[in-house]
């Protein structure tokens, strides 16, 4: 029986996928099977697949390490290992939200343990950045859920509530670039 676990990485369809969820199904008639939801480590695409219970799956060992963001150079971003101080280049395509990177930020980089190639680079769930440009807010206009655009210190554009002003620090959700709250 194929031994699936949440979070494990497998080689499937010439790509590496992480098992998001799985369910062993034993119907009254016929052979047992495993229904899975897989997320591509390289593209982030999620797909559902059914494996026969006797399927041979190739597990891929991955390691997550924390690196500090240094600087960009075109589509390549440079990071430094917090323990060895070794610097590595990371392609923009594998970073989950490169527009929110700021110097000195710690990110988790997932490596394929076999060939030491970086597969993904994830920012923290939320980041705190200063608003560097926005239109002035209108006093007392807090009842409506109206939003206005702003630019934060990394250069990303975020939609914020009208009461947030220039120079305020805000917490941003890195998965969808959404405003969370004003930072204390």
Does 110 fall in a domain?
yes
Q: Number of folded domains in the chain?
A: 3
Residue 130 neighbours by CB under 8 Å, 6+ apart = 152, 153, 167, 168, 169, 170
Between CA 36 and CA 50 the distance in angstroms is: 6
Q: Is residue 79 a part of any domain in this protein?
A: yes
Q: How far is CA 50 from its chain centroid?
A: 26
- Residue 3 within any structural domain of the chain: no
Q: Which domain holds residue 144?
A: 126-182
For residue 89, tell me if it sits in a domain: yes
**Domain at 162, CATH number:** 2.40.50.140
Both 44 and 70 in a single domain? no
Give how far the C-alpha of residue 160 lies from the chain's centroid of Cα atoms, to the nearest Å: 22
Task: Inform me whether the pLDDT recorded for 174 exceeds 70.
Answer: yes
Q: How far is Cα 67 from Cα 84, in angstroms, rounded to an integer?
A: 10
Question: Does residue 1 lie in a domain region?
Answer: no
Give the CATH number, domain containing residue 26. 2.30.30.30
**Which tens digit of pLDDT belongs to each residue from 68-125?**
999 999 999 999 998 899 999 998 888 888 999 999 999 999 888 888 888 888 899 9
The answer to whether residue 40 scores a pLDDT higher than 70 is yes
Answer yes or no: is 4 within a domain: no
Q: Using 50, 70 and 90 to split pLDDT, how confident is the model at 139?
A: low
Q: How far apart are alpha carbons 139 and 5 in whole angstroms?
A: 53
The whole-model pTM stands at 0.73
Mean pLDDT of 38-43: 80
Lowest mean per-residue pLDDT among 59-68, 125-134, 142-151, 165-174: 142-151
Residue 30 shares a structural domain with residue 16: yes
Beta strand extents in 13-140 (DSSP E only): 15-25, 33-40, 46-52, 58-60, 62-73, 76-81, 87-91, 106-112, 117-122, 126-134
2 found inside a domain: no
pLDDT at 163 over 90: no
In this prediction, residue 7 carries a pLDDT of 81
Work out the average pLDDT over 140-154.
Answer: 79
SS3 (DSSP) at 5: coil
Which pLDDT tens digit goes with each residue over 42-76?
777 889 999 998 888 888 888 888 999 999 999 99
Residues of the chain above pLDDT 70, percent = 95
| 7 Cβ contact partners less than 8 Å away, ≥ 6 residues apart | 18, 19
Same-domain check for residues 42 and 70: no
Q: Which of 73, 97, 122 is the last residue of a domain?
A: 122
Are 79 and 48 found together in one domain?
Answer: no
* pLDDT value of residue 175: 84
Helix, strand, or coil here: 76? strand
Tell me if 28 is assigned to some domain.
Answer: yes
90 with 110, same domain?
yes
45 with 85, same domain: the answer is no
């Amino acid at each position: 029986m194929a031994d699936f676990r949440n979070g494990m990485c497998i080689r499937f369809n010439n790509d590496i996928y992480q098992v998001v969820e799985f369910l062993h199904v034993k119907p009254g008639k016929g052979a047992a099977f495993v229904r899975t939801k897989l997320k591509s480590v390289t593209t982030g695409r999620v797909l559902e697949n059914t494996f026969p219970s006797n399927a041979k799956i190739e597990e891929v060992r991955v390691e997550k390490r924390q690196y500090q963001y240094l600087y960009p150079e075109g589509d390549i971003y440079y990071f430094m290992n917090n323990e060895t101080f070794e610097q590595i280049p990371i392609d923009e395509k594998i970073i989950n939200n490169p527009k929110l990177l700021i110097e000195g930020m710690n990110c988790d980089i997932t490596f394929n343990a076999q060939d030491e190639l970086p597969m993904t680079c994830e920012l923290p769930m939320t980041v705190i950045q200063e608003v560097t440009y926005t239109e002035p807010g209108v006093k007392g206009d807090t009842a409506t859920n109206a939003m206005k655009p702003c630019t934060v210190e990394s250069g990303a554009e975020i939609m914020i509530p009208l009461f947030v002003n220039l120079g305020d620090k805000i917490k941003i959700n890195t998965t969808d670039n959404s405003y969370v709250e004003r930072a204390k």
